[in-house]
Amino acid sequence: MERIVQATSDGSHTIAVPEMDVTYHSKHGAIQESKHVFIEAGLKYQMEKTEGTFNLFEMGFGTGLNALLTVLENSTRLIRYESLEAFPLEPAMAGSLNYGELLPNKNARNFLRQLHEANWNEWVSITDSFQLCKRNQDLIDFNSAELIDLIYFDAFAPTAQPKLWTESIFRKLNKWMKPTGVLVTYCSKGDVRRAMVAAGLQVEKIPGPPGKREMVRAIKPA
């Protein structure tokens, strides 16, 4: 699978996959999209409503940008961050990503390196408040061992990975979520929202990042 590093409108990198006609992040700005969808609408929203160790599941480790922004955002509570990635980036490509140079935190570059170099399929401490486990595995074959506070659902678009946006997948995720657990995703297509509702989630459309009118936040009922 050919992958090409590309610059987006805010200067940060995304990765294009020509044969699938997809990119890992929005062409309108990778960093600003991830901050809006996953940090602002997901992490900050849910951490205000919960206490104790925070269990976070990510579908699609990809460039590591969502994980990096999560590390940089949190310094108080323990986050256990489990992420699936069936096709990890080659080390050279991961090392070429420019998020560390663009983000203001002086440790961003080092954290990004640690995230990508962390061993697969085992828990690794990145900081005192962030533990990571990357799984080289497909979502269809995976089952979570922990109840989850928040899900970053960052799979490729439904046109590229239709099997990951179905009612059966969202039912599976619903079972893993704690009561009042949250799932956030950039995708707000009607059939995706209907699949989430059929899976028992309460779905709301909220303003999307630059270049996208809407996104979705789905909540498991209490």
> What per-residue confidence (pLDDT) applies to 94?
97
Task: Say if 83 falls within a structural domain.
Answer: yes
Average confidence (pLDDT) over 186-192: 97
In the prediction, which pLDDT does 154 show?
A: 98
pLDDT at 167: 98
CATH assignment at residue 135: 3.40.50.150
Residue 37 lies in a domain: yes
Residue at 14 is within a domain: no
> Residue 75: what pLDDT?
84
What does the pLDDT look like over 47-88, one tens digit per residue?
A: 999 999 999 999 999 999 999 999 999 888 999 999 999 999
Query: What would the pLDDT profile of 90-129 be if each residue is shown by its tens digit?
Result: 999 999 999 999 999 999 999 999 999 999 999 999 999 9
Tell whether the model's pLDDT for residue 215 goes beyond 90. yes
Kindly state the average pLDDT of the residues 34-50.
97
| Within-domain flag for 41 | yes
What average pLDDT score do residues 31-40 get?
98
- With respect to residue 9, please indicate whether it lies within any of the assigned structural domains: no
CA atoms of 172 and 164, how far apart (whole Å): 11
pLDDT tens-digit readout, 135-188 = 999 999 999 999 999 999 999 999 999 999 999 999 999 999 999 999 999 999
Asked if residue 179 is part of any domain, the answer here is: yes
What DSSP assignment string belongs to 137-180?
S-GGG---SS-EEEEEE-PPPTTT-GGGSSHHHHHHHHHHEEEE
Separation of alpha carbons 204 and 2, rounded Å:
36
Q: What is the pTM assigned to this prediction?
A: 0.97
Output the pLDDT for position 39: 98
Residue 218: its pLDDT value, please? 98
In a domain, 159, yes or no: yes
Residues of the domain holding 62: 28-219
Query: Angle, nearest 10°, between helix axes 108-117 and 65-73?
Result: 130
Q: Do residues 156 and 20 make contact, with C-beta atoms less than 8 angstroms apart? A: yes
**pLDDT on residue 76:** 87
Q: Which pLDDT value is given to residue 1?
A: 83
**Structure-token pair, residue 97:** 């990503």
Residue 139 is assigned to a structural domain of this protein: yes
Pick from 220, 186, 222: which is nearest to 203 by CA?
Answer: 220
Question: Total structural domains in the chain?
Answer: 1
Give the E-state strand segments of the chain in sequence order. Answer: 4-7, 13-17, 22-23, 54-59, 79-84, 124-127, 130-135, 148-153, 177-185, 202-207, 214-219
